[in-house]
Structure 1
Amino acid sequence: MSEPTTHGPPNDGAARSGHHGLLEEGESVLLIDHKGRRYLQTLSENQEFHSHAGPLEHDRLIGAEPGSTHRTTKGLTFTVFRPTLSDLVFKMPRGAQVIYPKDLGPILMLADVAPGVEVLESGIGSGALSSAMLRAGARVTGYELREDFARRAQLNVARAVGPEAAARFAVELRDVYEGIEVGPSGGYDRVVLDLPEPWQVVPHLQGALRPGGIVLAYTPSIMQASQFREALVEAGLVLAETLEVLHRTWKVDGAAVRPDHRMVAHTAFLSHARMPSRSERTLPPERDGA
């Protein structure tokens, strides 16, 4: 098995999670023009942001207040904000497809990701889900097959949540289909999977997922979700559920309101279940009329 990768968080561009006050050199900012177009920048002395609107000096943004507006050399304006995690997810460099914010929030709720929770994530991709779980306070161990994906995810995570949260993120070059290594803590509270065949992981949950723990799989196809659900039943997991999240925005202009013509409909199915205690898994089935 491979050792955990050791790429630390970058010194430049790291998000200051929970940071308040004036904008600082080295942090990410979001520039929004008069048409609502968004541009992500990392503030650096003596640098400029170049666009159709003309150059805008970073030195004018360093020390500025979030929400302030600044003019370029051509007289056009940009408003500067600290980016939300959702902004960073949409803009982050990627090798694999990211899980988008419309699914990230429900995953955090369905898997009940909270401070101190130990999570095994496999299929870390570009690190969007890892960032969301770390922001929620979890400790995340990621299994990834490709070293380039692992490195990119760690860099994305460090920029999204900052070095303090990124210190709770460990990535190991492993194939979760071959098994889950359980450390001294005795297992994981949550297992979150973004894999083509998550049902192959279910037999490894015994002893790796703590009693009462939650497993969740993100699958684009309903046939993947169905096969995963069958594996959950065979393994004795309970309270299984599958759902999808549809995202529709609305046009609101005074009294004229209507749904937008386009919506983000299907992206994936979210299937989750819970691990019963060992004693419950060995009970005989109830008889009718009991």
Structure 2
Amino acid sequence: MPINNGQKVLIIADNKAGRRKLYFFTIDARQSYSTFLGNIQGKEILGKDYGETIKLDKGILYLIEPSLYDKIMYDLKRKSQVIYPKDSGYITSLSGIRKGMKVLEAGIGSGFLTIEIAKHVCPDGKVYAYDIRDDMIEIAKKNLEKANFLDCIIINKKDIREGIDEENFDAAFLDMADPWNALNKIHKSIKISAPVVIFVPTVNQIEKLLSNIDDKYVIQEISELIKREWEPRKEALRPSVRTIGHTGFIILLRVLK
């Protein structure tokens, strides 16, 4: 299917010497697009199919149809610090959520984790997302609409630390500065043995969380993920100098009676 005006394209620019860079463009015939291999005009991309290439003097541009991962990384708007797929993919896997489940989320932010949760539970399940900021909710709605998940998300503008009305959740996710202040309020609404996954950026928050967990929960795991990419050079395969280090801590709790 030919690429048309307004469509998104992921471009992998390769100089054939082992250096690659990614670019995410919305194609417009009137625009010029800059890459480290040189500039290319929008009209040169229009009419080509995804999966085709454009040869430049310094290398090759691969035209790729963006995946949801690509859109999350390069296209969605963000107003706050977000949870990227490096962490959100593990968080949802750790929770064991699946299609049809009813899930609670506190701290919707820009909606990045919400999208990852929705991938697992929608369309038959529901995500009940709480946030207290209008600006965050508006950005999250736009991002969820772009990802085609808005229909199975119920957004509440309410402080979860004051309690929630829903019950019978299969899992809960807390991305907030003081998750320990929400645990007692949500306990009765979550099924026994269900996972509660918490994401916090600092050690101090973990220490405070540990000091405030009572006999309603047990800690199953505390972890963090480090991502190191490799440079795809046939003659000199080696780790990239770019490493995505600490982004946050992931704490898995299980609900007790």
Where on the TM-score scale, by shorter chain, does this alignment land: which range?
0.7 to 0.9
Answer yes or no: is the 8 Å Cα contact 1:56–1:71 preserved in 2. no
Cα distance in 2 for residues equivalent to 1:243 and 1:193: 15
Match of 1:51 in 2: 33
Q: Does 1:130 align with 2:114?
A: yes
Aligned residues: 245
**TM-superposed deviation, 1:38:** 3.0
% identity of equivalent residues: 26
- 2:95 corresponds, among 85, 106, 111, to 111
Moved over 6 A (4+): none
Answer yes or no: is the 8 Å Cα contact 1:202–1:231 preserved in 2. no
Match of 2:71 in 1: 88
Cα distance in 2 for residues equivalent to 1:38 and 1:257: 19
CA offsets 1:110-146 (integer angstroms, 9 cap, x no match): 1112111211111111111111111223421211111
**Residue 33 of structure 2 aligns to which amino acid in structure 1?**
S
**TM-superposed deviation, 1:71:** 6.8
Q: Classify the secondary structure of the residue corresponding to 1:99.
A: coil
Match of 1:17 in 2: none
Cα distance in 2 for residues equivalent to 1:268 and 1:191: 18
Match of 1:167 in 2: 151
**Residue 122 of structure 1 aligns to which amino acid in structure 2?**
A
CA offsets 1:16-36 (integer angstroms, 9 cap, x no match): xxxxx6667765332333454
Match of 1:143 in 2: 130
**TM-superposed deviation, 1:90:** 2.0
Aligned counterparts, 1:192-231, within 5 A: 192-231=173-212
**Residue 143 of structure 2 aligns to which amino acid in structure 1?**
N
Q: Which moved more, 1:170-179 or 1:30-39?
A: 30-39
**Residue 84 of structure 1 aligns to which amino acid in structure 2?**
S
Match of 2:248 in 1: 268
Q: Does 1:98 align with 2:82?
A: yes
- Any unmatched runs of 5+ in structure 2? none
Answer yes or no: is the 8 Å Cα contact 1:123–1:143 preserved in 2. yes
- 2:142 corresponds, among 141, 152, 155, to 155
Cα distance in 2 for residues equivalent to 1:123 and 1:130: 9
Cα distance in 1 for residues equivalent to 2:194 and 2:206: 19
- Any unmatched runs of 5+ in structure 1? 1-20, 282-290
- 1:33 corresponds, among 7, 13, 18, to 13
Q: Classify the secondary structure of the residue corresponding to 1:200.
A: helix
Relative to the length of structure 1, the TM-score reads 0.74
Cα distance in 1 for residues equivalent to 2:5 and 2:129: 30
Q: Which moved more, 1:234-243 or 1:30-39?
A: 30-39
Q: Classify the secondary structure of the residue corresponding to 2:40.
A: coil
Match of 1:251 in 2: 231
Cα distance in 2 for residues equivalent to 1:79 and 1:253: 17
Superposition CA RMSD, Å? 2.7
Q: As a proportion of its length, which structure holds more strand?
A: 2
Cα distance in 1 for residues equivalent to 2:121 and 2:6: 24
Structure 1 residues 71 and 259: alpha-carbon distance in aligned structure 2, compared to 1, 3 A threshold: closer
Answer yes or no: is the 8 Å Cα contact 2:9–2:26 preserved in 1. yes
